[in-house]
């Protein structure tokens, strides 16, 4: 599987180079979700904006729209997208549970039971709802969705959860017929083992997932931030948070026996657009060969300023 960030608005041909998904970050101006296009309610910071393009060159792709979901099947994987709008009489807890039950139903029915990676977009992620921060409410609903899912996932897949605008709760995901290997960072407590101070239910994600394909291996690195142990490091200091985040990514790569020279993509979420110049300069200096995209999003903790996710790829081990 290939992920690339390409200039938005170009045509995407059918056939050998046909994308599985084309994800467009549209902020408050969503576009129609017509396969292969998916519109995510997170504002872009790149100018001109970029598309996130998923491909498996040469693979045949079957597409289907099922109610509030899109799925695209290739022999090696299932890509999916679910969106549910939150109304005044619904809670994020309920919607998150519904969304994950929907995901498990889709991957189970399609015969791709191993969830590898999920990208969650949550409106007003740091606001309070019914006495609980909305991210923590999301975690409660996600946990219930996992518990009710027909498929056992232990440990959970790699994932990200960041803030968005509007009212839509959105999830994009990848599942496979064969299981991945979930990776943890030795200088961080596993998120699913966080202490109760982080909410009634711990966040259900692994720090990374390693998947082996026919010819290559991909390391999907979850949303990574300035967290050491379980605590946020370097409050209110974007530069030092960036340094700690980069080190966490390096440790994850080392733990999975990857080199940072295997790094292929970076997706960078910034709480404050004013940090864009500093962050872009530092990352280009360190990883100038990498395909990257910059987005404006609140992070799952109000004291985090930066979150970065990544993919690394290498030839399949013999």
The C-alpha R_g of the chain, in whole angstroms, comes to: 18
Tell me what the mean pLDDT of segment 53-57 comes to: 91
Whether the Cβ atoms of residue 66 and residue 46 lie closer than 8 Å to each other: no
Checking phi first, is residue 130 left (phi over 0); if not, alpha (psi -120 to 50) or beta?
left
> Rounded to whole angstroms, what are the CA distances from 178 to 12, 77, 104, 132?
29, 9, 15, 37
Domains of the chain (ranges; CATH) run 2-315 (3.30.1330.40)
Please determine, for residue 14, whether its predicted confidence score (pLDDT) is greater than 80: no
Q: Which of 109-113, 152-156, 295-299 has the lowest mean pLDDT?
A: 152-156
pLDDT digits (tens, 9 = 90+) for 273-296: 999 999 999 999 999 999 999 999
Task: Give the number of C-alpha atoms closer than 13 A to the C-alpha of residue 227, restricted to the C-beta side.
Answer: 25
- DSSP letters, 138-182, are HHHHHHHHHHH-SS--SSPPEEEEEEESSSEEEEEEEEESS--EE
pLDDT digits (tens, 9 = 90+) for 179-213: 999 999 999 999 999 999 999 999 999 999 999 99
d(CA 190, CA 209): 13
Whether the Cβ atoms of residue 110 and residue 73 lie closer than 8 Å to each other: yes
Structure tokens at 253: 């790569």
Please determine, for residue 152, whether its predicted confidence score (pLDDT) is greater than 80: no
What is the predicted pLDDT for the residue at 153? Answer: 66
Give the residue, 126 or 1, on which the prediction is more confident.
Answer: 126
What is the predicted pLDDT for the residue at 17? Answer: 77
Helices (H), 16-122: 92-110
């Amino acid at each position: 599987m290939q992920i690339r960030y390409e200039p938005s608005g170009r045509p995407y041909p059918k056939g050998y180079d046909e994308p599985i998904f084309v994800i467009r970050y549209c902020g408050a101006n969503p576009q129609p979700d017509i396969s292969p296009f998916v519109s995510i309610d997170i504002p872009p910071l790149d100018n001109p904006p970029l598309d996130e393009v998923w491909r498996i060159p040469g693979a045949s792709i079957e597409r289907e729209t099922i109610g509030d979901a899109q799925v695209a099947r290739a022999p090696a994987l299932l890509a999916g997208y679910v969106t549910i709008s939150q109304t005044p009489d619904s809670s994020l807890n309920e919607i998150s549970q519904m969304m994950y039950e929907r995901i498990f139903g889709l991957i189970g029915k399609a015969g791709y039971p191993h969830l590898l990676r999920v990208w969650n977009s949550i409106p007003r992620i740091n606001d309070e709802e019914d006495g609980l921060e909305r991210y923590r409410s999301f975690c409660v609903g996600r946990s219930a969705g996992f518990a009710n899912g027909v498929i056992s996932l232990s440990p959970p897949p790699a994932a990200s959860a960041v803030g968005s605008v509007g009212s839509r709760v959105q999830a994009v995901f990848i599942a496979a017929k064969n299981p991945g290997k979930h990776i943890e960072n030795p200088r961080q407590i596993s998120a699913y083992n966080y202490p109760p101070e982080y909410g009634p239910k711990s966040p259900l994600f692994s720090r990374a997932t390693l998947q082996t394909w026919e010819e290559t291996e991909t390391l999907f690195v979850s949303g990574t931030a300035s967290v050491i142990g379980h605590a946020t490091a370097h409050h209110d200091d974007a530069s030092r948070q960036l340094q700690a985040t980069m080190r966490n990514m390096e440790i994850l790569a080392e733990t999975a026996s990857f080199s940072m020279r295997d790094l292929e993509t970076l997706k960078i979420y910034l709480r404050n657009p004013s940090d864009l110049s500093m962050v872009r300069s530092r990352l280009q200096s360190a990883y100038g060969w990498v395909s990257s995209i910059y987005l404006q999003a609140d992070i799952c903790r109000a004291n985090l300023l930066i979150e970065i996710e990544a993919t690394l790829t290498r030839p399949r081990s013999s």
